[in-house]
């Protein structure tokens, strides 16, 4: 998973920063903070940031510019090619198997993908960070229980969870989010648990404990600020993973209902015409690939600030 790849980046760095002192392991925390958030992005980082910003603009402004109804069918104009293959300007990206405009559907699918990716990442991150903090700081029984739950989740394949939820609750956007959140919090919990176990033994945390600071102040003032960096990197790359998983579920028929436009559903709809009208599946497939690439490049750039 993208989350595990991001975790490796942070574990190799292996340093933490006190929010006030700012220096651990011989490095300046203020310097690292500037290099991570305000330094000029690399070529890959700039490309990733550009793709993400383009996706946001398309999702927010696209429906106001492309006024075609993505559900409108024109059977006489089905499987029309894009304009660069001799198609009409009225349908710049062509039409699908029932004559629906592909440009309008790609724009509509961008909103669903962005909504699912951001919402699932936020919910999964909240759960994972909370459980990781509890397990890493409390240790003992809490740590063993959380670790056992994580091991159980890792032993159950993602598709099995999706099939079970769909069989019991049916298709729906809320059920897709349930599947993604129930499987996505594990990466956060593992990384945050390891980081918290190291931070709880740091000199400044022990000093705060000796001065009588309670565990809420220790976590909120001294531990949690040092977790913001790795959590942001994990989140940026998990958004890409969530979008990809949603597309996979929609392709398999385990995602949202057919009346909601999704990129995965568009890819699945063009399977039967793949040899004669490859653009029906290829165009939403390219949109998925570019989106995942953009978020991964953005996450890699954020992670470079630790190295």
Q: Does the residue 205 lie in any domain?
A: yes
Q: Tell me the C-alpha distance between 10 and 126, whole Å.
A: 19
- Structural domains in the chain (count): 1
Q: Does the residue 224 lie in any domain?
A: yes
Instruction: Please give the average per-residue pLDDT across 123-152, as a whole number.
Output: 88
Q: Does the residue 100 lie in any domain?
A: yes
Which pTM does this prediction carry? Answer: 0.79
Could you give the dihedral angle defined by the CA atoms of residues 183, 185, 191 and 194, in that order, rounded to the nearest 10 degrees?
-100
- Taking 90 as the threshold, does the pLDDT of residue 31 lie above it? no
Q: Does the residue 184 lie in any domain?
A: yes
Residue 306: what pLDDT?
52
Q: Kindly report the average pLDDT of the chain as a whole number.
A: 80
Instruction: Please give the average per-residue pLDDT across 173-180, as a whole number.
Output: 90
Q: Tell me the C-alpha distance between 35 and 229, whole Å.
A: 12
Lowest mean per-residue pLDDT among 39-48, 50-59, 100-109, 274-283: 39-48
Lowest mean per-residue pLDDT among 17-21, 78-82, 175-179, 214-218: 17-21
Q: Does the residue 21 lie in any domain?
A: no
Instruction: Please give the average per-residue pLDDT across 197-201, as a whole number.
Output: 76
Domain containing 208 equals: 2-10+55-304
Q: What DSSP letter does each residue of 120-147 carry, written as one string? A: HHHHHHHHHHHHHHHHHHH-HHHHHHHH
Q: Does the residue 18 lie in any domain?
A: no
Highest mean pLDDT: which range of 73-82, 196-205, 253-262, 282-291: 282-291
Q: How many CB atoms lie within 10 A of CB 237?
A: 29
**Residue 117: which CATH number?**
1.10.3720.10
Residue 205 structure tokens: 């945390």
């Amino acid at each position: 998973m993208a989350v595990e790849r991001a975790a490796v980046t942070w574990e190799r760095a292996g340093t933490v920063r006190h929010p006030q002192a700012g220096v651990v392991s011989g490095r300046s925390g203020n310097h690292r903070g500037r290099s991570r958030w305000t330094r000029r992005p690399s070529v890959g980082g700039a490309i990733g940031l550009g793709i993400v910003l383009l996706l946001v603009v398309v999702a927010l402004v696209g429906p106001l510019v492309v006024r075609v109804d993505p559900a409108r069918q024109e059977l006489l104009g089905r499987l029309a090619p894009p304009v660069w293959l001799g198609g009409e300007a009225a349908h710049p990206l062509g039409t699908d198997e029932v004559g629906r405009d592909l440009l309008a559907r790609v724009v509509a699918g961008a909103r669903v993908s962005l909504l699912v990716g951001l919402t699932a990442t936020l919910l999964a991150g909240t759960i994972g960070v909370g459980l990781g903090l509890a397990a890493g700081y409390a240790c003992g029984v809490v740590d063993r229980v959380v670790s056992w739950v994580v091991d159980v989740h890792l032993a159950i394949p993602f598709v099995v969870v999706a099939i079970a939820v769909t069989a019991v609750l049916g298709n729906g956007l809320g059920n897709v989010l349930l599947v993604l959140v129930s499987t996505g919090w594990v990466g956060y919990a593992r990384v945050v648990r390891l980081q918290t176990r190291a931070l709880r033994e740091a000199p400044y945390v022990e000093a705060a404990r000796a001065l009588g600071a309670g565990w809420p102040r220790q976590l909120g003032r001294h531990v949690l600020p040092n977790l913001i960096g790795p959590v942001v990197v994990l989140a940026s790359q998990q958004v890409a993973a969530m979008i990809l998983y949603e597309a996979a579920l929609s392709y398999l028929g385990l995602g949202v209902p057919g009346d909601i436009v999704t990129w995965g559903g568009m890819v699945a709809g063009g399977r039967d015409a793949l040899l004669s009208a490859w653009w029906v599946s290829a165009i939403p497939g390219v949109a998925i690939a570019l989106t995942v690439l953009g978020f991964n490049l953005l996450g890699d750039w954020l992670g470079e600030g630790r190295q």
